[in-house]
Amino acid sequence: MLNSYLNKNTMESNVDYLGILLQMAFALGFVGLTMVATHTLGPKRRTAQKAEAFECGVESVGNARLPFSIKYFLTAILFVLFDVEVIFFYPWAVNFKELGGIGYLKMLFFIAPLFLGYLYILKKGALNWEKM
């Protein structure tokens, strides 16, 4: 009797994963088929210019240690910093009613250092591209 119970539960739990396995098989099959199709059907014109390394529109010849404007890196770092912090607002907004006043105060304590950091970068002129 125990064996029949275990076999029945094992069979039911395996069926639960069938949809996930089918979706994974379809996704992997689609990716593989697309890659093979583009490789076989696509144009094959190999030139010296195409074989060169290309990065962000900058010529890849010469010294790699040329001075580069810091404003691009600064903008990217500030974007990542504030973008990652904003991700935490979504769960808070979804659970706003359940969290109540305590949740609101906690979010204010979370936002306060972000706001101070924003005021700091404005004061330092980090977002003023003409000064840089």
Q: What is the pLDDT along the chain (132 residues), one digit of tens a residue?
A: 555 555 555 556 777 788 899 999 999 999 999 999 999 998 888 888 777 776 666 666 666 677 777 777 888 888 888 888 888 888 888 988 998 999 999 999 999 998 998 899 889 888 787 765
Q: Is residue 55 part of a domain?
A: no
Instruction: Specify if 126 maps to a domain.
Output: yes
The values of phi and psi at residue 55, to 5°, are -140, 110
Question: Which residue carries 């583009």 as its tokens?
Answer: 38
In-domain check, residue 116 = yes
Evaluate whether residue 57 is within a structural domain. Answer: no
Amino acid present at 73? F
Domain count, the chain: 2
17 within domain boundaries: yes
- Whether 26 is in a domain gets the answer yes
| pTM of the complete model | 0.45
Q: Is 56 part of a structural domain of the chain? A: no
Its domain, for residue 8, covers 1-44
Spatial distance between the Cα atoms of 23 and 33, rounded to a whole number of angstroms: 15
Please indicate, yes or no, whether residues 75 and 114 belong to a single structural domain of this protein. yes
Closest CA to 48 of 60, 66, 32, 33: 60
Side-chain half-sphere of 6: how many Cα atoms within 13 Å? Answer: 3
Same domain? 72 vs 127: yes
Q: Which residue, of 9, 29, 44, is where some domain finishes?
A: 44
